Amino acid sequence: MTHITGRWVRSVLALSVTLSLSWLSSAAAHAFLVNTLPRAGARFTEAPQELALQFSEAVSPRSAQVKVRALQGGPLEVRELHPGADAQNLLATLPPLKPDVYVVSWQVMADDGHLSSGEFAFGVGAGGAIPGVQDNVDGVPLLWVTGSALLLVGLALALGGWISERFVWRKQGVPRAWIGVGAVLAVLGSAVHLVALAGSGPRATSVILTSRPGVAAGLALLAFLVSACLTRGRFRGWAGLPMVGGALAVTWQGHLGNAETFWLTPLGLAHLLLAAVWVGALVHFGQVTWVRRNVAWSDALRRGAWRYAKLAAWSVPPLLLLGLLLAWSQVDAPGDLWTTRYGQLLLAKVTLVLAALGLAVLARSRLVPARTAQPLRLARLVLAEVGTLLVILVLSAGLVNATPPRALTAANILSAAPPIGPAVRAADQAGSLSVYVLAAEGDLRVEVVQPTGKPGDRTRLWVNGEAPGGAFTLPLRSCGRGCFHAPFGWKPGETTVRVKATDPEWPGGTAEVKLRWPPGPDQTAQLAQVVKAMKHAGTFDVTEQAPRSLDPTPHTFPLTAETLAATDVYVGGGAEDVREVGRDAQGYTVLSLFVPGSSLWYELHVDGHRRIRRERIVGPGYGVNRTIEYPQLLEDGSP
């Protein structure tokens, strides 16, 4: 029995590790909004007449819901919602729009049956602040999780129990496996998925009857129902066959059934079947050991334990290989483990897997001395492990409905949304890359722009610094094209932020900025006074230096107010986050501002006559320091 016990324990250990990777691969695809017309956050002088939405995956037009409302009014009628050039695009006709800010709310069902929703805004005319892009793709829908949990647990109990009855215990007078209970749970899980699909849009019947998720959920329900009926009579030995068909329908219903790579579907099916067989067989083994807990080891129990160990040993290699093959690329960065719902569920699951490992080690230490006595300790440990693994299945149901971090990163290709609430910015260069750091309530955002003006989509960042509360290091997540952010609790005072940036196309480096919190009042009116004063400044001398350019030598040249207006973009309007950030050593007022359309950040040092004495400019691929000298001023401030 020592040999049998050792094999059984090794199988349990290996499969417990495997479960930490299980079901990662079947994480559901969500339809991300990747492009819009009108563009999110844009402002138009003429009202757009058409609405176009582009998603990362094919969506069902019948289930789509798009609503438009005015911030200063009520909902508007959206007419003729129909597919665009392909299944990833939706088009609609907008009614005539008056000057206002308009919010577009959308909800779509991806081709795998999972819902995504969100909203964005655009403006017509000059008034009103435009809200940012919001979506719920990082959420975990409770109804879908409930259905998936019932399906996974039911499939494991039914299919694994059926395999255990027929091939492990072989009618040796042991308790029957819970095949019927598992089949009923699987039926309920499929029914819950159908209910979720029915609530996905106004044409629920059409969605269920014509979409792949609806047809697959219906076929799965039928297969599991047939299996449940077979368990009640003399055809119990055939109950597992419809279960395999139901598992195929479940795989086809999910993301792997919609995979562009054809071999992912059979691999996903094999992965699901192997995991279900092992968990269900372990549950049945727990039933047997618990019923026989007060009986000494018998030859029948030894033979059953040996066959179970053999089944587990044969299941380990393919299950482990498939788990690694299908799951290795789901997490984009270590920080995603605690900053995303997917990562948090994964951490909880791994914690339980470690608990299962502990139970397996404990079982090994107690199995050997208990093998000649009553197997009560073994029964208790096996049941504890069964309970742990069933909880892991429930967490797996959350994982298959959560969006993997890499999917979030890949699909967030909208430009960064405007910050919510007051914000202050600073900028610097990191090699050839321009780095813009934004401080908003509870959030630190970094945007990267290449010298070409394009966002740094493939840039990698590392952020650390010193705050009034001490040093910090932050893991970042994507918030749009070339945009990265992390939750951050700003403390009153000055915070130094260092950003190390690397990019496969451009030389990187380290940028360092200083941000003062909290942001002061908006100083757009003061900036307007500066612009007015500079327009009457006449001719002045400018000393300009680009410290990180090929020619860092300072150059001095005369400049007129008209020329300055042509080079300083904010003179024409459009500046955001205009803040007073302090005073310099000469007592000049320091203003910080950002022009988003041109990715230009300015730091202006303004004297008592509202004239710029120094300015720092960071734009795509360059950083410039300027010092301005004026002719002798008269007492009234005029030259």
- Which CATH number does the domain housing residue 568 bear? 2.50.20.20
β-pair partners for 606 = 589, 612
Q: Is residue 447 located within the same domain as residue 390?
A: no
Together in a domain, 51 and 105: yes
Task: Tell whether the model's pLDDT for residue 185 goes beyond 90.
Answer: yes
Question: Is 112:258 a contact under the CB 8 Å cutoff?
Answer: yes
Instruction: Give the Cα separation of 138 and 196 in Å (integer).
Output: 18
Domain holding 430: CATH number? 2.60.40.3340
Range of the domain at 103: 33-135
SS (H, E, C) 104-169: EEEEEEECCCCEEEEEEEEEECCCCCCCCCEECCCCCCHHHHHHHHHHHHHHHHHHHHHHHHHHHH
Strands 460-467 and 65-70: unpaired
Note the pLDDT of residue 522: 92
How much is the average pLDDT of 267-283? Answer: 83
Inside any domain, residue 319: yes
Same domain, 452 and 578: no
Euclidean distance between the first and final Cα of the chain, in Å?
A: 103
Number of domains in the chain: 4
Q: Is the pLDDT of residue 554 over 80?
A: yes
Classify residue 10: in a domain, yes or no. no
Query: Is 16 part of a structural domain of the chain?
Result: no
User: Given 135, 158, 193, which residue is the final one in a domain?
Assistant: 135
Q: What is the pLDDT of residue 495?
A: 97
Lowest mean pLDDT among 26-35, 537-546, 589-598: 26-35
Is 13 part of a structural domain of the chain?
A: no
Do 243 and 388 sit in the same domain of this protein?
A: yes
Neighbours of 214 (CB within 10 A): 25
Helices and strands per DSSP (H, E), number in the chain:
15, 26
Q: Are residues 312 and 178 in the same domain?
A: yes
What's the pLDDT at 198? 72
Does residue 73 surpass a pLDDT of 80?
no
Identify the pLDDT of residue 66.
87
pLDDT in tens, 8-28: 434 433 443 334 334 433 444
Same domain, 502 and 550: no
Q: Which position has the token pair 């968990």? A: 279
Asked if residue 376 belongs to a domain, the reply is yes
**Statement to judge: residues 180 and 129 lie in one domain:** no
Same domain, 333 and 187: yes
pLDDT tens digit sequence for 231-244: 887 888 888 888 88
Predicted local confidence at residue 23, as pLDDT: 40
Q: Whole-angstrom Cα distance, residue 20 to residue 602?
A: 49
CATH number of the domain where residue 96 is located? 2.60.40.1220
What average pLDDT does the chain have?
78
Judging by beta carbons within 10 Å of its beta carbon (0-12, 13-18, 19+), is residue 22 exposed, middle or buried? buried
Would you call 1 helix, strand, or coil by DSSP? Answer: coil
Residues 190, 99: one domain? Answer: no
Of 460, 491, 517, which marks where a domain is finished? Answer: 517
Q: How do residues 419-478 score in pLDDT, each as one tens digit? A: 667 999 999 999 999 999 999 999 999 999 988 878 887 899 999 999 998 999 999 888
pLDDT band at 351 (very low <50, low <70, confident <90, very high): confident
Asked whether residue 27 is assigned to any structural domain, the reply reads: no
Quick one: pLDDT at residue 9?
38
Same domain assignment for residues 273 and 172: yes
